[in-house]
Structure 1
Amino acid sequence: MNSKLKDINVEILFKAVLSLRTMEECYDFFDDLCTVPELKALSQRLQVAKMLDEHKVYSDIVNATGASTATISRVNRSLNYGCDGYRIVFDRLDAMDEQEKEK
């Protein structure tokens, strides 16, 4: 566990996210929790991480996402030296995609 995040308020936030069951619940919760720019920034970072994971070059990522090179570098550092949070999510999303294809 990442000790710099360990805090009772962060744990409550994470429990709240884990309690969501549908995409609609996610939209409702995050609409209440975040401003549009905050949510766009989070989703942009996830998209940047996915593109980096697919070995896309910075210029392509900038063009596709509008992210700054500083943001891309920060996300790249997390991918390479972070806690593997992106990897967990990417693997699970891939598994969900495979399940959807099988239906």
Structure 2
Amino acid sequence: MNPKLKTHDTDLLCEAILSLQTVDECYAFLEDILTISELQSIAQRLAVARMLDEGQTYDDIEKVTGASSATISRVKRCLSFGADGYRIVLDRTKK
């Protein structure tokens, strides 16, 4: 984890997220704290990460998600060299 991100406020945000117990509670919280555009962007990045993890091509990912090649590249860099946040979520939510 990047120590520059760790503050009292970000700790509280993480604790708030961890306190949510249902998908509906999560939707309600995210709808209150994010704009629709921010929520869609975050969801798109997770979809891109899942597709990259499955070995899909940039072209396929662009067609399915509408993500730009810059977004796909950024997510791929996080998967390869990031803090493993995507990896944790992808491994725990594999179906």
TM-score, structure 2 normalization: 0.95
- Which whole-Å CA distance do the structure 1 matches of 2:68 and 2:27 have between them? 26
| Amino acid in the other structure paired with 1:41 | S
Amino acid aligned to 1:15: E
- Per the alignment, residue 2 of structure 2 pairs with 2
User: Which protein is bigger by CA-based radius of gyration?
Assistant: 1
- Distance in 2 between residues matched to 1:72 and 1:8, nearest whole Å: 31
Matched, 1:91 2:88: no
TM-score (norm 1): 0.88
Q: CA deviation at 1:19?
A: 0.4
1:52-91 correspondence to structure 2 within 5 Å: 52-91=52-91
Q: CA deviation at 1:9?
A: 1.2
Gaps (5+ residues) in structure 2? none
Structure 1 outlier segments of 4+, above 6 Å: none
Q: CA deviation at 1:91?
A: 1.2
> Percent identity among equivalent residues?
55
Counterpart mapping for 1:12-91 below 5 A: 12-91=12-91
Per-residue deviation, 1:2: 2.0
Unaligned runs of 5+ in 1: 98-103
Matched positions, count: 95
